[in-house]
A and B are shown apart, each in its own frame.
Chain A
Amino acid sequence: MNANGSEEAALVRRVQAGDETAFREIVDRYQSKVFSIIYGILRNRNDAEDIAQQVFAKIYFSIGSFDFRSSLLTWIYKITVNECYDYLRKKRVRKLVYESDFTEEDALRMMSSEQPVERMRSVDTVLAQRDLVTKLLGRISQEERTLILLKEVEGHSVEELAQMTGLNQNTIKVKLFRARQKLLRAAGRLTRRSGTEPAL
């Protein structure tokens, strides 16, 4: 374990021992990260605030079971993403893009076009695409979702993911590959239902 790791472990142990100032340190250290992750998925500041509070409450109540197998950030990341998807499931938010006239079919069509993603960035299109990606991510397991988001959204390498999760690199590659295949299949099913070309 490196210096940061041992310092982080000491901080966690203090919280586990009931030290409230240590918990405050965790909130101060990770609040912007948690808030940004939630906002990245939900794109709503009020929801982000509410879910971020819930994430830290969950961290407080369950830190006793944190076993140091993964990094604290990975554990927090997983809780954060799960909270977002719990929220989406509870609210049954089928459509996140309230302001947009774009339909899911439009998004599927745009995604399947041969244009590079960067050239299709009108505000509505991007919102509709984000909506679709969020929805597709809801079709894979929590672990797969966390890994693929850590890789593609947070930009971590396979080596970093292995270090963060305590899994070996080959396992990470296999899990990521399966997650990507499941996402493609989910997009395929969605596409067949709406009668457009394959989306992703």
Chain B
Amino acid sequence: MHQPIRERLEQYLGGTEGAEGVRAIESHLATCRRCAREVEQMRRQAAFLRLLRPAGVLEPEPGFYARVWERIEAQRSNSIWSLLLEPALAKRLAYASLGLLVLLSALAISLDTEPAIPLTAPELLIAEDPIGPPLGANPTQDRDVVLVNLATYEH
């Protein structure tokens, strides 16, 4: 389509082009078959598009706002769940939970198996059963017992 026609096409199709403009367009269309054909196709197209115009102003049934709000509430609660169920977030949550579980398990095991104070510490030996194991069974323990006795000896 030639530029002068293209520039005025919208006004021409909408019937808002001035009389002089219409004369200029129509004299061009009378001599240019290609433009004439395209303009005619677009004129028909515009007429068919106007078939989608509603017959008048239509109103939804009463209580429309309440129904809209109900839908908003439903979508809002859905969106919280969908956020939690969103694959990337769910994956991160699963990894974090797994990590936390491993950490807690390791902590529990270490508390069960590792005594805070070594068994041969003098404080433990003092608190031990006064009879204790027989002398000579464990030379390291015997040495510690002697050291404790010396350190705690009182006149």
> Is chain B a partner of chain A in the same complex?
yes
Does A15 reach chain B (CB closer than 8 Å)?
A: no
Residues of chain B within 8 A of A148, CB atoms compared: 49
Does B33 reach chain A (CB closer than 8 Å)?
A: no
Minimum CB–CB distance from A84 to chain B (whole Å) comes to: 10
Does B26 reach chain A (CB closer than 8 Å)?
A: no
Does B53 reach chain A (CB closer than 8 Å)?
A: yes
Does B89 reach chain A (CB closer than 8 Å)?
A: no
A-B contacts at CB below 8 angstroms, number: 110
Bound-state CA distance A75–B113 (Å) is 67
Name B39-64 residues within 8 Å CB distance of A. Answer: 41-42, 44-54, 56-61, 64
Minimum CB–CB distance from B8 to chain A (whole Å) comes to: 9
Whether A57 lies near B71 (C-beta < 8 A) is yes
Q: For this complex, into which size category does the number of interface residues on chain A fall?
A: 35 or more
Does B2 reach chain A (CB closer than 8 Å)?
A: no
Does B16 reach chain A (CB closer than 8 Å)?
A: yes
Whether B45 lies near A200 (C-beta < 8 A) is yes
Does B34 reach chain A (CB closer than 8 Å)?
A: no
For chain B, the count of residues having a C-beta within 8 Å of the partner chain is 34
Residues of chain B within 8 A of A41, CB atoms compared: 52
Name A11-54 residues within 8 Å CB distance of B. Answer: 24, 27-28, 31-33, 35-37, 39-41, 48-49, 52-54
Minimum CB–CB distance from A187 to chain B (whole Å) comes to: 8
Interface locus among A2-10, A97-105, A152-160: A152-160
Does A151 reach chain B (CB closer than 8 Å)?
A: yes
Bound-state CA distance A153–B47 (Å) is 10
What is the interface of chain B mostly: helix, strand, loop, or mixed? helix
Residues of chain B within 8 A of A190, CB atoms compared: none
Whether B52 lies near A151 (C-beta < 8 A) is no
Does A68 reach chain B (CB closer than 8 Å)?
A: no
Does B68 reach chain A (CB closer than 8 Å)?
A: yes
Bound-state CA distance A184–B53 (Å) is 20
Residues of chain A within 8 A of B67, CB atoms compared: 49, 53
Bound-state CA distance A149–B52 (Å) is 9
Whether B11 lies near A134 (C-beta < 8 A) is no
Residues of chain B within 8 A of A130, CB atoms compared: 51-52
Known: A49-B64, A173-B9. 18 other contacts (CB 8 A): A27-B64, A32-B57, A35-B59, A40-B52, A40-B54, A48-B60, A60-B68, A117-B48, A129-B51, A133-B51, A148-B49, A153-B50, A157-B10, A180-B42, A184-B45, A200-B41, A200-B45, A200-B48
* 3 nearest A-B residue pairs (beta carbon): A152-B49, A40-B54, A200-B45
- Interface of A toward B, CB cutoff 8 Å: 24, 27-28, 31-33, 35-37, 39-41, 48-49, 52-54, 56-57, 60-61, 111, 116-117, 126, 129-130, 132-134, 148-149, 151-153, 155, 157-158, 172-173, 176-177, 180, 183-184, 187, 198, 200
Can you list 11 A-B contacts (CB < 8 A)? Answer: A33-B57, A36-B56, A48-B60, A49-B61, A53-B71, A57-B68, A116-B47, A117-B44, A129-B51, A153-B50, A155-B53
